[in-house]
Structure 1
Amino acid sequence: MTDAPARVTAVDGASSRFAAVLSRPARQADVPPGIDPDELRLAMLEDTYEVVAGLELVTSALVLDPPDQPDAEAVTWPGTPIVREATLAGAFAALHALGADAAALVAPDAPDLPPLLIGKLFRAVGSAPAAACQADGATEPDGLVALAARLPLPEWLAGALQDVDLDTPDALARLRAAAPRPGLVPQGPAWHRLRTAGDLRLLDPGLEGWENTRALLEGHPLSS
């Protein structure tokens, strides 16, 4: 295997809009009995990647933190840009360096995310610097499913994203607090993330997609 580039692997003829899935090790091993946590993580990552890879007029990408994740890279299509960055601000900057004038960063545990929701974020950043899809929490904010932004990032947003990621529970509130005036970070429709075994009940067996996750969970009840 050849040495990986320090930050990004470029792609020829890239669209000016990028949608990148973030790949990070699972923070917990709360999975149904008999399911390997790493296999579930990769299945959800691949399904989420397939969502963004299927978007029209959008270049799909993968963001790695930590930078060496050959198993994650293996789920992508040939020629997919690979970004190696530890912060959302760094990932946005790297995608801008690849030619993106707008990008969406997507959590890796949303295998059934409707592509329309990412499209709504891209439409929103036509008139605002950034737009967020908040994760559905039971009673309170629970981080973000996706964050889109026009590039390059304004200074206030780049600064805020040094300390905020998609897992930050009050991410949307913190980004809005950093904005110089209201309305600069609109919110699109929320969606769920699958971070615990109990979250699997949110999957709809009748909904198309999430084929890898579906195959791995076959024979395991989705409700607790």
Structure 2
Amino acid sequence: MTITQAVLSFAVVAGLLTLVPGIDTALVLRSSLTRSRRYAFATALGICTGAMVWGVAAAVGVSALLAASEFAYRALTLAGAAYMVWLGASLLWKSWKSGPAAAAATLAATGKAAPGGGRELLQGWLTGTGTNLLNPKVGVFYVATIPQFIPQGISPLMMGVLLAGVHCVLTMLWFAGLIFGAGYASGWLSGPRSVRVIDRVTGTVLVGFGLKLALEPRH
């Protein structure tokens, strides 16, 4: 297998994975609909940053610990599950606040009135990065796939970075389509009531994903 063949084959697998709806897609869509386009791209970039870290870790064998150690896997799983539940519960709590003042605050939090500043963009990036890094299934995916696409005689670290980079490019292209597509609908979905509904749906998905992550047995 040549480097070109390895990259193209991995791109097919990673592309299919990217298209499957999941927690990353929910976060980016929510960021696009209730915040700003810049915030959504910062969140997407954070998700890709987490993927790059996992890809490099898998290439050098660090995340092989997740595949070999039940304790390490469960510890990271519970940490990730707690983070997902906390993030989702925060959205649900905010969405269920009643009254005109809370509705106005919710609308102001969308960031539609003005572009997000550096602190807001950092928050989006940290949310995306943390969500991805605390999902052990991402690490297990890389551990299971990247070694199969490393040609003989090629540096595992180099191929890990290259393959993770390919996945990030595909992910950003997909997210860019979602963000720009959601932008056309934001005019109808940026009111206080719509924002609360979006927060409730996203919060429910996050809490459900976190509970499922914590309770399901390791395969």
Given the two structures, how large is their TM-score scaled by the length of structure 1? 0.25
The structure whose residues are more often helix, as a share, is 2
The structure whose residues are more often strand, as a share, is 1
**Which has the bigger relative contact order, CA under 8 A and spacing at least 6?**
2
**Larger CA Rg, structure 1 vs 2:** 2
Given the two structures, how large is their TM-score scaled by the length of structure 2? 0.25
